[in-house]
Amino acid sequence: MGNKSRYKKMFPVSWEQLHRDCRALSWRLMEMGPWKGILAITRGGLVPAAIIARELDVHVIDTICLSSYDWLEQGDANILKQVDMDGEGWLLIDDLVDTGKTAKIAQDMVPKAHFATVYAKPEGRPMVETFITEVSQDTWILFPWDAGSQFVEPIAKVSDE
């Protein structure tokens, strides 16, 4: 899993689970709308934003492009593309909030947008307004776009290492 000191657990998310979780998030966000549009934080927020846009019948979608991960290592966030708006009436969507560093940059860009993620970790949780599932800080969330099918050791065998 890469950085053994930071990530002790793996939380694999299937396409089906991601879709269910995005629909659950949509139900929560529906009550707060209507929304002018969705801002996806790329790249992780693209798939959740597409599902949420469909569920909420939102047709205006834009991106804020930030990069802070290189596989398992989180570094400084680089702004690759920003938007020219304050975000009022918009949803800001990402797949997860981890430490909150990327979230802080995105929220500073669009301070009036409603920030929602599918998953949240304790360090970043105060940054997000709406989310579905919280996992521990030492858990790596393995998204379906980063995974393939292969044999997995039983948990009991992995924890003996």
Please report, in tens digits, the pLDDT of each residue of the chain (161 residues total): 444 568 899 999 999 999 999 999 999 999 999 999 999 999 999 999 999 999 999 999 999 998 766 655 666 778 888 899 999 999 999 999 999 999 999 999 999 999 999 999 999 999 999 999 999 999 999 999 998 887 878 888 776 65
**Residue 68: CA atoms inside 13 Å, Cβ hemisphere, count?**
20
* CA gap 43, 146 in Å, rounded: 12
pLDDT at 1: 46
Look up residue 31 and give its amino acid. Answer: E
Give the pLDDT score at 98.
Answer: 94
- Catalytic residue set: 94-95, 98
DSSP state of 116: E
Q: In angstroms, rounded to a whole number, what is the distance separating the alpha carbons of residues 40 and 135? A: 21
- For the chain, the domains span 9-144
* Dist. CA 99–CA 79, nearest whole Å: 17
- The CATH architecture of the domain made up of 9-144 is 3-Layer(aba) Sandwich (3.40)
Q: Is the peptide bond before 54 cis (omega within 30 degrees of 0)?
A: no
Q: What's the confidence (pLDDT) of residue 121?
A: 98
